[in-house]
């Protein structure tokens, strides 16, 4: 029988009532003839509580025990979901990650899935079981210890199962009804997209549209898993939600698919560094060793052999960046006059695969921002994305103006 993967996020399993509602949806797919793999998150808020307990018990915790504790929220919902299905006369059982097994690396708290052998679950489907309920977010290391996949990791569990079992589709049930052209809280003109390509979704996910864990989109793209994002609070229909799929499945699309933003960026400028070969290497390797995730980089023109180097990083890494730069300076690896941290910035990006074949997107974006009197501090581009760093107080205005300029309220 064809296999379908259905993933229910924390809000969709937050109470027994909601678990019942989710189980009914599973029942509908079973009745259509699918064997279903259900991936569950912990009840919403549970994982935060567990993480809090670990931190309170042991600030410099053993990551193996962190995983032992933090993975437990999903065990509860997996068992409850299986029981609920059984009450509905749907043959179901639960599986923890190690039982499947979901084999992962041993990078505790951020492990990667290496392999999910389908044999055990398939054998049960062959015996007449119709639903395998699997605890998301967890696996087992080569050493036999429980691992977790990083926050939001049950999306990745779901996609990995869909890839391993050759599922027809992977439905991600969440508390929003799909992927939007931008955040509907910023403009009520935001429009739900029927389809979006893997590449665009990957950019939007990594830019902070928190619908899907970025890693799950990477995996879906690599294995061409069709992903559908939909709300578990709305009526079920075959066209509900947003399908994340290969661009070949998208006939018409706007040049720009969406506008994304991130509040959580800081602009860091190293004033007056020597302009000579190897200096960028020294700066950015020191930052990387210091655990700083650098995003945008600009080097200014140089004067008399000195230049300014600007980069952006998440605001909560500013202290780390300052420490790494001070240490590199003390060690004599780099020399700079001062490091200026500007934490009142935001990043706004336009994303669309149409940019590959259409010119003028950058010009239109910059004209739009200039018409609003918004100064651009840093610019970066990729094949399908243009990002700018601006003053944070203009962020919402920029998103609204760009959404209007690219007419995203209208479908292609």
The least CB distance from residue 40 to ligand ASP, in Å, is 9
Cis bond upstream, residue 101 (ω within 30): yes
Q: Which of residues 49-88 bind ligand ASP (CB under 6 A)?
A: 73
Q: Name the residue nearer to ligand ASP (CB basis): 175 or 327.
A: 175
Helix (H, G, I), strand (E, B) or coil at 396: helix
What CA–CA distance (Å, rounded) separates 183 from 261?
9
Q: x-or-dash pattern for ligand ASP, window 12-51, by CB under 6 A? A: -----------------------------xx----x----
DSSP 158-176: HHHHHHHTT-S-EEEEESS
Cα distances (angstroms) measured from residue 57 to each of 15, 60, 107: 27, 9, 21
Task: Determine which residue in the list 93, 151, 189, 192 makes contact with ligand ASP, applying CB under 6 A.
Answer: 151
Q: Does 174 bind ligand ASP (CB under 6 A)?
A: no
DSSP structural state of residue 180: B
Give the residue closest to Mg ion by C-beta.
Answer: 152
Ordered DSSP codes for 281-344: HHHHHHHHHTT-----EEEPPPBTTEEEEEEEEEGGGHHHHHHHHHHHHHTTS---SEEEEEEE
Stretch (H or E) spanning 200 = helix 198-206
Under the criterion CB under 6 A, does residue 258 sit at the interface with ligand ASP?
A: no
| Residue 301 beta carbon to Mg ion: minimum distance, rounded to whole angstroms | 44
DSSP 8-class letter at 393: G
**Shortest distance (Å) from residue 172 CB to Mg ion:** 8
Q: Which of residues 121-160 bind Mg ion (CB under 5 A)?
A: 152
Of 59-67, 120-128, 148-156, 169-177, the segment contacting ligand ASP by CB under 6 A is 148-156
47 interacts with, out of ligand ASP, Mg ion, none, CB within 5 to 8 A per kind:
ligand ASP
Give least dist CB 56 to ligand ASP, A: 18
Assess 97 for contact with ligand ASP (CB under 6 A): no
Q: Is 39 helix (H, G, I), strand (E, B) or coil?
A: strand
Contact residues for ligand ASP, defined by CB under 6 A: 9-10, 41-42, 47, 73, 136-137, 151-155
């Amino acid at each position: 029988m064809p296999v379908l993967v259905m993933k229910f996020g924390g809000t969709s399993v937050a109470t027994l009532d909601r678990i019942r509602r989710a189980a009914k949806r599973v029942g509908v797919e079973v009745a259509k003839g699918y064997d279903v793999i259900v991936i569950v998150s912990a009840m919403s808020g549970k994982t935060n509580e567990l993480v809090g307990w670990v931190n309170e018990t042991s600030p410099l915790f053993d990551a193996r025990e962190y995983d032992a504790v933090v993975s437990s929220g999903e065990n509860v919902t997996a068992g409850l979901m299986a029981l609920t299905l059984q009450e509905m006369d749907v043959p179901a059982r639960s599986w923890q990650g190690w039982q499947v097994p979901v084999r992962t690396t041993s990078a505790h708290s951020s492990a990667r899935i290496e392999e999910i052998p389908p044999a055990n679950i398939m054998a049960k489907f062959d015996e007449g079981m119709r639903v395998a309920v699997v605890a998301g977010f967890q696996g087992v290391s080569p050493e036999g210890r429980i691992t977790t996949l990083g926050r939001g990791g049950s999306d990745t569990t779901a996609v990995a199962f869909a890839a391993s079992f050759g599922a027809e589709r992977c439905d991600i049930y969440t508390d929003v009804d799909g992927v939007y052209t931008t955040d509907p809280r910023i403009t009520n003109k935001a429009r739900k997209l029927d389809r979006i390509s893997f590449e665009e979704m990957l950019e939007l996910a990594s830019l902070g549209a928190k619908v899907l864990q970025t890693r799950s989109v990477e995996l879906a793209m690599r294995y061409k898993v069709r992903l559908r994002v939909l709300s578990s609070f709305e009526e079920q229909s075959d066209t509900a939600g947003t399908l994340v799929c290969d661009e070949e499945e998208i006939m018409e699309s706007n040049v720009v698919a969406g506008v994304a933003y991130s509040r959580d960026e800081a602009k860091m400028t190293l004033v007056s560094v020597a302009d000579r070969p190897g200096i960028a290497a020294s700066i950015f390797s020191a930052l990387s060793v210091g655990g700083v995730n650098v995003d945008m980089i600009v080097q200014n023109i140089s004067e008399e052999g000195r230049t300014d180097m600007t980069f952006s990083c998440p605001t909560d890494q500013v202290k780390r960046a300052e420490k790494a730069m001070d240490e590199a300076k003390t060690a004599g690896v780099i020399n700079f006059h001062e490091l200026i941290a500007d934490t009142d910035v935001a990043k706004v990006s336009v994303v669309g695969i149409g940019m590959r074949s259409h010119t003028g997107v950058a010009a239109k974006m910059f004209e739009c921002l200039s018409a609003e009197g918004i100064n651009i501090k840093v610019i970066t581009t990729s094949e399908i994305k243009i990002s700018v760093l601006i003053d944070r107080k203009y962020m919402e205005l920029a998103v609204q103006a760009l959404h209007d300029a690219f007419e995203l309220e209208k479908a292609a």
